[in-house]
Every structure is written in structure tokens, then in C-alpha cells.
């Protein structure tokens, strides 16, 4: 029986050689392609196995990781997910990351180069270091006020602290709950993502900074007025033409005022009055008189057509280029915030903020402080001047004009007892048959501005075609400003 036993021994050797070859094939030959296979969750786990740091709003974690018994090790969860969803973004195994979760990822997962001390400590102590915590500038009272005031209406609210650029509130509706995307049940997470992608109103889109930009409507008249004042040829008391009907140059078409109203019985009025009653014909004429270049320069001085990260990427707001504004009709439309002018709500808040801050536009930001796991401050955002939008004098003149809008004009709904509020409404046509977007932008108090705000309610919100910026958007802005001021 020894002959077959020896042969069996040889067969065994061949079997083992086969196992060695097959193992080598997988671990050596195939390894690269397997490691890069999109279904290989190990890359993801390397990321998701980190004890991720929390995202903090006013001392409370709105996003935090907790250890769980599954291969990922940590579950990301969001407190008040709907309210903060667009700010925190989501951290999802199947759908990736967004917003702060994405832009601050290196800090949250502890891999940022500035966190090397934490990592060194982890190496020595063997403890897996927790990622850094990211503290936001969001004021929970303002955020909640914006959320509540916007109600079920589609739209967005942005509030900025003018002196620093801190973003105090950023709400976009409809919103979504990042928890449904962060679940480790990959099937449920995929389905939730698909349903959000397909949902009416694009809840995943943060309207405040991204998505389809809006026509600013009459809120843009602030920019036109600023261009006029900056030219040195105008003061708020300068009398400008304010016809009942504005005849577009080289065209038979005409522009009328809101509700075909008459701005002034004698066809002209002061710049301040034109602003106060939001006279379309006066501003169309003013813009065309100033010229495309002056208008564009002023828009760019407020931040139009410039990239911005807060640190989430912000869609550029746009003022038409020279080729377009050479057409005086286009320039006339642009001067009242129609035509090809497109803005984000953040952009309009930045306009108000710059005026509130004496013409100095501060860089807006959402991340205040980054603390290592030991609570040592790793990074702190210092306010920085982004650009000078207007001179202090012009800022003061614009403020006065905008106070008139709130006190005696179209934005009376934004008045706050005992506080002087500056603002400008807008009721922006965007489609022939659709209800207009209701806008408000402004700030308060005028003496020592604490908050600048921009509100848009899409398609007039609950008021539909009856909506105006003053009736629909101004009360929301008022609620947010009050929330900040009452602190």
C-alpha cells in the first residue's frame, strides 16, 4: 500500500501548490484591481472606521458619531437633522458626503495635517483618536426662527453677522433628514437617496447657496442705487426721471411699475423716494443712464461673478456681461433685478451685510472653530475683509434709503419695535405664468448692525400670485432679525 500512499502524498503536495498559487493570484496578481473595485468597502471603512468628530452648534452636537456593533464601527447621527441638514450635510456609506461633512472631512476624520499631534498621541497611547470637532457660526435661535417663519413654503433664508461675516442662519426648504442617508443599512440608504433625488422640490439642494439661482427682482435696486451714489453724480435727494411707463430704447416694448402704478404725478422723484416705493421705471432709466460697465462694476464690488466657499461651494451670482448690457433693454431689465441677473440668497445677504458694515464686505463663513479631541483649538476663523463694496458715505446713504423702505415703503412688515431696520423688498417675475418670488434683504439695527438677512419665498409661497416681497418675505426676515437681537 506504500505505492498509492506515496502517490497520495504527491497529490497532496499538488493540492497545496494549487492553494498557494490561487492565494498568490488573489493577494498579489489580482490585489490591485480588487482593492480598487468600487464595491470594495474597505476604502470606505478606512474612512468610516474613524471615530469622527462632531459638528457643533452653540455647544450642542448636531452631528456626532457613536460606536456601534457593525463592521463600520461608528454610526453618524444628526440631532435636529431637518433643521441643520443643509448645513451639516450627510455622511453616508453609499451616498458619500456633502456640505460641512465633506468640506471639513479632513478635520472631522482626524487626518488633517494640523491634527498631527492628536495622531501622534494616538500612535503612542494606542487609542484611536477621535477626529476634531467643528464648531459652526450658526445661531440656533436664528436658525430655528428662520425655519419656523418659512413654514412649509419653499425658499431660503440666510443671516450674516455684518461685522464678521459669520453665517448665523442658513435654511433651505424643503429640507431633508441626513439620518436617513447615514444609516448603515445600505439598501435603505440607497432608497432614501433615490427618493430624495426624485422628490418634488429637490430637498437635497441647499437653495441658500446653490442650485438654480434666482432673479433678485427689486432687491437688486440697492445695487443700482449703490452704483449711482458711487458715481458721485447722485445723492439720495437727486431727482431722477420716474415715468409711468418706461419705453425700452430701440423697441416698442414698455416697462411698467408694479401693478401699473404711477411712481410720481410729475414723472420724476428723488432717488430715495424711487427706492422707497420701488419704482421700476426710475431704476431702469437710472441703470441705463449709469451704463453697463458701472452697473457691472458695482455688482462685482458686492461679489457677483466671484467664486466663494463658506467652506461649502457657493454658486456664483451673475450680472450680465458687456455683450448683453450693450443692449439697453437688457441693461434696463437688469437694473431692476430682472433679465439675466441671477443671485443666490447668500449673495443678497452679503449685499445687505456690506452696506450694514460701512461698505466693507466681510468673508462669510460657517466654521468658527476646530478643536482637537483634547478640546485644544486647532484652527479658528478670523473675520477677514473680502472686498470693499461701497464707500462708508454711500453705505450710510443706502442705509438711510433702506430705512425709508421699511418705515414708509414696501417693507413695513419688517419693522421691529424699538429697533431701526433697513431693508428692501423684491417681487421677482421669473416665468410668465408663475407667481413671482417674494424677496427681502435688509439688516438691523442700523446704528450697530448685528444681523443682515436675505429671504426668498419661491413663487410667493402660500400667498401665490398675490404675494409681494413686503407681505411674504419681510415678516420672515423680521422674525430672524428679532431672534438674533433678542439674544
Partner 1 sequence: MATVEPHAARPAKRPSRGAEAGLLVLALAIGIGAYALVGFGLLDEVPEQFVPYSLGLVALAVVGHVVLRIKAPYADQVMLPVVVALNGLGLAMISRLDIGGQLVGSTKEFASRQFMWTALGVVAACAVVWFLKDHRTLRKYSYTAMIVGLVLVMMPLLPGIGQNINGARIWVNIADFSLQPAEFAKIAFAIFFAGYLVTNRDTLALAGPKVLGLQLPRLRDLGPLVIVWGASLAVLIFERDLGTSLLFFGLFVAMLYIATERFSWVVIGLSMFAVGAVVAASVFPHVAARVDVWLHPLDPEIFGRSPGGSGQLVGGMFGLANGGLTGTGWGQGYPRLVPYANSDFIYTSLGEELGLAGLLAILVMYLVLVERGLRTAIGVRDGFGKLLAGGLAFVMAWQLFVVIGGITRIIPLTGLTMPFVAHGGSSLLANWLVIGLLLRISDNARRPSSLPVRGQVAAHAAGPTSGSQPVAVGSRSQEAVDAGEARAAVGPARGGPSQDHPTQVVRTDLPENAEGPMTGATEIIDDTERKNL
Q: Catalytic positions, please?
A: 218
Q: With respect to partner 1, which residue has the nearer C-beta, 73 or 475? A: 73
On whether the CB atoms of residues 165 and 310 are closer than 8 A, the answer is: no
CA dist 227 to 29, 286, 340, Å? 67, 10, 18
Q: Name the residue nearer to partner 1 (CB basis): 28 or 375.
A: 28
Q: Look up residue 98 and give its three cell numbers.
A: 456633502
Are the C-beta atoms of 93 and 44 separated by less than 8 Å?
A: yes
CB of 1 to partner 1, least distance (A): 5
Q: 15 vs 212, which CB is nearer to partner 1?
A: 15
Q: Under a CB-based contact definition with an 8 Å cutoff, are residues 170 and 367 in contact?
A: no
Footprint on this chain of partner 1 (rule: CB under 8 A): 1-9, 12-13, 15-16, 18-20, 22-28, 30-32, 34-35, 37, 39-42, 45-46, 49, 67-71, 73-74, 125-127
Give, for 442, the enclosing helix (H) or strand (E).
strand 437-444
**Smallest gap from residue 40 Cβ to partner 1 (A):** 5
Least separation in angstroms between residue 66's CB and partner 1 is 9
State the minimum distance, in angstroms, from the CB of residue 89 to partner 1: 24
Provide the CA 351 distance to its chain's centre, in angstroms: 14
32/382 with CB nearer partner 1: 32
Q: List, in sequence order, every beta strand (DSSP E) within 296-408.
A: 308-309, 313-314, 360-362, 367-371, 377-380, 385-388
What is the number of other CB atoms lying within 10 angstroms of the CB of residue 355? 34
* Minimum separation from the CB atom of position 185 to partner 1 (A): 13
Here the cell at position 365 is: 463663513
- Choose between 126 and 432: whose C-beta lies nearer to partner 1: 126
Distance CA 334, CA 11 (A): 85
Can you say how many angstroms the Cα of residue 381 is from the centroid of all Cα atoms in its chain?
Answer: 18
Residue with cell 413695513: 412
Cβ at position 79, least distance to partner 1 in Å: 20
Q: Which helix (H) or strand (E) covers residue 349, if one does? A: helix 345-356
Residues 6+ apart with CB under 8 A from 368: 135, 136, 137, 166, 380, 381
- Of 125 and 260, which CB lies nearer to partner 1 in the complex structure? 125
Amino acid at each position: 500500500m506504500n505505492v498509492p500512499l506515496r502517490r497520495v502524498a504527491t497529490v497532496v503536495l499538488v493540492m497545496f501548490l494549487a492553494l498557494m498559487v490561487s492565494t498568490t493570484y488573489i493577494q498579489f496578481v489580482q490585489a490591485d484591481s480588487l482593492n480598487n473595485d468600487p464595491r470594495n468597502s474597505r476604502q470606505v471603512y478606512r474612512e468610516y472606521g474613524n471615530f469622527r468628530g462632531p459638528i457643533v452648534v452653540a455647544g450642542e452636537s448636531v452631528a456626532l458619531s457613536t460606536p456601534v456593533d457593525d463592521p463600520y464601527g461608528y454610526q453618524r447621527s444628526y440631532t435636529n437633522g431637518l433643521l441643520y441638514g443643509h448645513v451639516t450635510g450627510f455622511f453616508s456609506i453609499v451616498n458619500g458626503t456633502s456640505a460641512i461633512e465633506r468640506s471639513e472631512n479632513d478635520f472631522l476624520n482626524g487626518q488633517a495635517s494640523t491634527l498631527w499631534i492628536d495622531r501622534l498621541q494616538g500612535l503612542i497611547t494606542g487609542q484611536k483618536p477621535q477626529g476634531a470637532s467643528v464648531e459652526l457660526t450658526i445661531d440656533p435661535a436664528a436658525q430655528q426662527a428662520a425655519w419656523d417663519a418659512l413654514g412649509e413654503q419653499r425658499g431660503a433664508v440666510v443671516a450674516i453677522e455684518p461685522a464678521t461675516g459669520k453665517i448665523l442662519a442658513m435654511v433651505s426648504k424643503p429640507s431633508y433628514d441626513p439620518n436617513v442617508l447615514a444609516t448603515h443599512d445600505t439598501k435603505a440608504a440607497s432608497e432614501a437617496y433615490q427618493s430624495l433625488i426624485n422628490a418634488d422640490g429637490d430637498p437635497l439642494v441647499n437653495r441658500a447657496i446653490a442650485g438654480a439661482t434666482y432673479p433678485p427682482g427689486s432687491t437688486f435696486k440697492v445695487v443700482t442705487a449703490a452704483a449711482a451714489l458711487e458715481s458721485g453724480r447722485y445723492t439720495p435727494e437727486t431727482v431722477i426721471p420716474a415715468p409711468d411707463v418706461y419705453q425700452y430704447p430701440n423697441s416698442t416694448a414698455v416697462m411698467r411699475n408694479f401693478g401699473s402704478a404711477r411712481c410720481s404725478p410729475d414723472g420724476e422723484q428723488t432717488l430715495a423716494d424711487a427706492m422707497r416705493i420701488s419704482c421700476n421705471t426710475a431704476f431702469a432709466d437710472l441703470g441705463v443712464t449709469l451704463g453697463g460697465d458701472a452697473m457691472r462694476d458695482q455688482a462685482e464690488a458686492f461679489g457677483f461673478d466671484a467664486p466663494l466657499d463658506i467652506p461649502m461651494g457657493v454658486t456664483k451670482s451673475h450680472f450680465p456681461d458687456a455683450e448683453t448690457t450693450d443692449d439697453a433693454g437688457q441693461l434696463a431689465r437688469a437694473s431692476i433685478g430682472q433679465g439675466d441677473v441671477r443671485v443666490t440668497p447668500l449673495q443678497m445677504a452679503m449685499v445687505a451685510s456690506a452696506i450694514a458694515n460701512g461698505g466693507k464686505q466681510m468673508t462669510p463663513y460657517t466654521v468658527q472653530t476646530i478643536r482637537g479631541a483634547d478640546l485644544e483649538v486647532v484652527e479658528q476663523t478670523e473675520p477677514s475683509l473680502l472686498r470693499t463694496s461701497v464707500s462708508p458715505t454711500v453705505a450710510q446713504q443706502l442705509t438711510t434709503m433702506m430705512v425709508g423702505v421699511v418705515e414708509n415703503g414696501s417693507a413695513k412688515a419688517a419693522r421691529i419695535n424699538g429697533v431701526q431696520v433697513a431693508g428692501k423688498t423684491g417681487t421677482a417675475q421669473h416665468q410668465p405664468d408663475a407667481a413671482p418670488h417674494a424677496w427681502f434683504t435688509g439688516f438691523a439695527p442700523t446704528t450697530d448692525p448685528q444681523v443682515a438677512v436675505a429671504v426668498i419665498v419661491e413663487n410667493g409661497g402660500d400667498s401665490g400670485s398675490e404675494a409681494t416681497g413686503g407681505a411674504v418675505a419681510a415678516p420672515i426676515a423680521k422674525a430672524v432679525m428679532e431672534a438674533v437681537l433678542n439674544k
